[in-house]
């Protein structure tokens, strides 16, 4: 499948959610499977500007991670990027090369877990 890698990319850590995990009383819980390293991913900070006393300042509230088309990341998973734990924010965007139809990559939109 799509093997787009970024030679100067970074390693991020995927924390997959175990679907269907329950506590002793049958209530659903968030339980995380073994961590998976995703190497050579491109990282783009997601920022918004905040008004301060001295003007405007950019605040990073998440990241866009560019990975392979067949990346194992799912919509309910979390990832650690540059030491910051984030949750997947929406659908994973996967794309094909418009000229060849070959799988090329995916964009994973992340939002900080800690605010």
Q: How many residues does the chain have?
A: 115
Residue 92 exposure: Cα atoms within 13 Å on the Cβ side: 20
Is this prediction's pTM over 0.85?
Answer: no
- 10-residue mean pLDDT profile of the chain (115 residues): values are 70 93 85 95 88 72 95 96 96 92 94 81
The pLDDT score that the predictor gives to residue 16 is: 96
The pLDDT score that the predictor gives to residue 56 is: 67
The pLDDT score that the predictor gives to residue 21 is: 78
Separation between Cα atoms, residue 65 and residue 79, nearest integer Å: 10
CATH 2.40.10.270 is the classification of domain 10-112: yes
The burial of 107, by beta-carbon neighbours within 10 Å (0-12 exposed, 13-18 middle, 19 or more buried), is given as middle
The pLDDT score that the predictor gives to residue 3 is: 56
3-class DSSP state of 26: coil
Domain ranges across the chain: 10-112
Angstrom CA distances, 65 to 86, 92, 94, 111, stand at 11, 10, 12, 11
């Amino acid at each position: 499948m799509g093997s787009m890698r970024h030679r100067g990319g970074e390693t991020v850590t995927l924390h997959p959610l175990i679907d269907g995990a329950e506590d002793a009383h049958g209530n659903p819980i968030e339980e995380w499977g073994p961590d998976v390293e995703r190497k050579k991913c491109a990282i783009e900070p997601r920022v918004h500007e905040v008004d301060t006393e001295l003007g405007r300042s950019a605040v990073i509230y998440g990241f866009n991670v560019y990975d392979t088309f067949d990346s194992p990341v799912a919509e309910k998973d979390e990832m650690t990027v540059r030491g910051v734990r984030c949750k997947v924010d929406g659908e994973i965007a996967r794309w094909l090369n418009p000229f060849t139809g070959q799988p090329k990559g995916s964009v994973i939109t992340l939002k900080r877990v800690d605010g």
